[in-house]
Structure 1
């Protein structure tokens, strides 16, 4: 699974598909202050990125991919 939830954060791992947007949205709504860790995210479907942009959860980690690190993090911070 590409969306992992533990006590302190929601981790996006690998290639997050459109189906992961629902899981992410529910996780963010259940715990609005929970941090989303992008440190292991290789690719995010636009639906996942839209959830992040709409919900504006706290973000940590820098994605290994240049595009996500350069453009998405700028929009989220």
Structure 2
């Protein structure tokens, strides 16, 4: 599995596919203070993106790949406030 759940954190690893979306949704519903670590994530299926957009968890670490990270931050509307 490309998701590793630890208490209130979920670690995304490598390619996170559609088969992970249901488990992610269930975990996020049970974990109101959820935190996400994308550091090892290289691909995210849109089904998982939709789950994340709906749940709005806190992002601890963005992906290492700059382009993927920028795209994901834009999709999740998590830009740092310059003010």
State if a TM-score over 0.5 links the two structures: yes
The structure that has the greater radius of gyration is 2
**Where in structure 1 are there 5+ consecutive unaligned residues?**
none
Corresponding residue number in structure 1 for 2:31: 31
Moved over 2 A (4+): 64-68
TM-score by length of 1: 0.89
1:13-35 CA-partner distances (Å, limit 9, x unpaired): 11000011111111100112110
How far apart are the structure 2 equivalents of 1:46 and 1:68?
13
Give the 3-state SS of the residue equivalent to 1:19 in structure 2: helix
1:32-72 CA-partner distances (Å, limit 9, x unpaired): 21101111111000101111111101111121233320111
**2:7 is equivalent to residue 3 of structure 1:** no
CA RMSD of aligned residues (A): 1.2
